[in-house]
């Protein structure tokens, strides 16, 4: 009975095991279920799905098999599929063009009502039957229609894809449990698990662990008079500095970075955890806050932290050529820099031999001049679970720094 459903669930990506399936079927046969589809849906889900991350897939499978639960139509998925593989690459723009674009964006926001745009979007979603690339009306990639991805209609609705101008006012999302899926990104726990591998155990801190061997020894020497010996418990002595890019092109990865950040800051076993922010590239200052107001000199990192600190840089490493290689190439209008960014990166690498770069963008998109260059300075890894594991391996396997504290 329902065995097809079991396979359907597995096909949809719900990790149901035979044990779970058997207990579900047993419960079914033992009459614990009421003859109602709703009951089957909720109680079945409790038996078969063990994380809200899979609720969405369960919903889809259930709908396909029983056809009773309403989920959103397939249109959106189809549309997302069209948008996944843009025919045009992102256009390159000069700073003047960008400024011009931003102006248009402001204009658009003033003139158009978001609600109206949304309504239009839904209507067009219903009408549209096929893939579109370029063009000005339909949802597609490139082009100047307000709907779609990789296009350049200021202030339009982006459907999936990556934001490259912060212009997408809304990423369309549907289905109730979709947000809980975890097959796309790492979750905090996985990150924490990976970060746990980063440790150097040393005895430090208060003496609070009972040393049994010593206690027995001492007690015997004292002729049976009990003498308790305590030891320092072993603690992780890893010190971490996290440097994060907060630039606009990082916007689509905010959540991912937040997860990494919260996992790292929740890790109680790091001896020290410091974090700083930068905008696209590092120059003479880094910032203590995301808004990049509280600046501290990059030199201070070198004087304050010894080379035993492990440095993790997070960023897409994608920037204008001038930002990395030119004096005064800094993207911020009011900032100047007398040394090009690449020199600062080399300095960091020199001072902190144990440093890696985590890149939230997919490896396929790394073919960019600045990404390649930075990748030569720091070992670069994808910000995925596997990438993180490799990065940690690289951080720990290097020869231990000879001078500590």
Partner 1 sequence: MVTGQGYKGSEDYIASKPLMEIVNVSVALGKPLVIKGEPGTGKTLLAHSISTALNKKLLIWNVKSTTKAKDGLYVYDTVQRLNDARFKDKDISDIRQYIKMGKLGQAFKSDEQLVLLIDEIDKADVEFPNDLLNELDEMSFHIPELDEEVSAIHRPVVIITSNSEKELPDAFLRRCVFHYIEFPDEEMMEKIVKVHYPDIENKLLREAIKRFYWIRDVDGLRKKPSTSELIDWIKALLLGGISTDKISSEIPFLGAILKNEQDTGRFIKLSHAQGGGFGFKRRF
Identify residues 148-187 at the interface with partner 1 (CB under 8 A). Answer: 169-170, 180, 187
Residue 109 is a binding residue for partner 1 (CB under 8 A): yes
Residue 300 is a binding residue for partner 1 (CB under 8 A): no
Alpha-carbon gap, residue 128 to 73, rounded angstroms: 13
Residue from the set 8, 10, 13, 27 that interacts with partner 1 by CB under 8 A: 27
Contact 306, 294 (CB under 8 A): no
Buried b (16+ CB within 10 A) or exposed e, 265-293: eebeebbebbbbbbbbbbbebbbeeeebe
Residue from the set 8, 10, 15, 214 that interacts with partner 1 by CB under 8 A: 15
Residue from the set 2, 8, 10, 20 that interacts with partner 1 by CB under 8 A: 20
Question: For residue 280, what are the contacts with CB-CB under 8 A and spacing of at least 6?
Answer: 245, 247, 249, 315, 319, 323, 331
The sign of the CA dihedral 315, 317, 319, 321 is positive
Judged by CB under 8 A, the stretch of 68-76, 109-117, 381-389, 395-403 that binds partner 1 is: 109-117
Identify residues 182-201 at the interface with partner 1 (CB under 8 A). Answer: 187-190, 192-193
Residue from the set 226, 293, 333, 364 that interacts with partner 1 by CB under 8 A: 226
Judged by CB under 8 A, the stretch of 2-10, 40-48, 86-94, 243-251 that binds partner 1 is: 40-48
3-state secondary structure 76-137: HHHHHHHHHCCCCCCCCCCHHHHHHHHHHHHHHHHHCCHHHHHHHHHHHHHHCCCCCECCCC
Residue 41: CB minimum distance to partner 1, A:
8
Residue 401 is a binding residue for partner 1 (CB under 8 A): no
Alpha-carbon gap, residue 256 to 84, rounded angstroms: 19
Residue 214 is a binding residue for partner 1 (CB under 8 A): no
Q: Which is nearer to partner 1, 212 or 346 (CB)?
A: 212
Burial class for 190, CB neighbours closer than 10 Å (0-12, 13-18, 19+): middle
| CA–centroid distance for 59 within its chain | 25
Both tokens of 253, joined, read 């990865």
**By rule CB under 8 A, what string of x and - marks binding of each residue 248-287 to partner 1?**
------------------x-x-------------------
Residue 188: CB minimum distance to partner 1, A:
6
Binding site for partner 1 (CB under 8 A): 15, 17, 19-20, 23, 27, 31-34, 38-39, 42-43, 46-47, 49-52, 55, 109, 114-115, 118-119, 122, 169-170, 180, 187-190, 192-193, 210, 224-226, 228, 266, 268
């Amino acid at each position: 009975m329902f065995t097809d459903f079991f396979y359907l669930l597995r096909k949809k990506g719900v990790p149901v095991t035979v044990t779970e399936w058997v207990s579900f079927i047993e419960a079914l046969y033992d009459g614990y279920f009421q003859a109602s589809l709703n009951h089957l849906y909720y109680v079945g889900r409790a038996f078969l799905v063990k994380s809200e991350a899979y609720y969405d897939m369960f919903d889809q499978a259930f709908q396909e098999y029983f056809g009773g639960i309403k989920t959103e139509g397939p249109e959106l998925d189809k549309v997302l599929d069209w948008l996944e593989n843009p025919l045009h690459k992102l256009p390159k723009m000069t700073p003047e063009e960008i400024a011009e674009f931003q102006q248009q964006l402001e204009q658009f926001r003033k003139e158009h009502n978001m609600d109206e745009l949304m309504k239009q979007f839904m209507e067009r979603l219903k009408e549209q039957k096929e893939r579109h690339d370029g063009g000005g009306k339909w949802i597609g990639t490139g082009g100047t229609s307000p709907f779609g991805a990789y296009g350049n209609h200021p202030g339009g609705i982006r459907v999936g894809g990556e934001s490259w101008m912060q212009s997408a006012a809304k990423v369309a999302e549907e289905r109730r449990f979709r947000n809980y899926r975890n097959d796309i990104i790492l979750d905090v726990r996985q990150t924490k698990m990976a970060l746990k591998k980063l440790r150097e155990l040393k005895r430090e801190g208060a003496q609070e662990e009972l040393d049994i061997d010593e206690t027995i020894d001492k007690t015997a020497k004292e002729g049976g008079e009990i003498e308790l010996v305590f030891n320092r418990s072993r603690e992780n002595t890893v010190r971490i500095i996290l440097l994060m890019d907060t630039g606009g092109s990082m916007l689509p990865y905010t959540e991912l970075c937040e997860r990494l950040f919260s996992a790292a800051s929740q890790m109680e076993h790091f001896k020290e955890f410091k974090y700083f922010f930068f905008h696209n590239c590092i120059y003479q200052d880094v910032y203590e806050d995301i808004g990049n107001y509280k600046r501290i000199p990059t030199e201070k990192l070198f004087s304050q932290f010894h080379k035993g600190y492990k440095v993790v840089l997070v960023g897409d490493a994608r920037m204008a050529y001038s930002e990395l290689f030119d004096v005064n190439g800094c993207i911020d209008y009011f900032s100047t820099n007398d040394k090009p960014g690449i020199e600062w990166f080399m300095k960091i690498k020199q001072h902190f031999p144990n440093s890696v770069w985590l890149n939230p963008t997919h490896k396929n998109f790394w073919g960019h001049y600045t990404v390649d260059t930075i990748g030569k300075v720091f070992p670069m890894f994808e910000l995925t679970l596997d990438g993180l594991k490799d990065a940690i391996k690289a951080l720990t396997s290097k020869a231990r720094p000879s001078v500590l504290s």
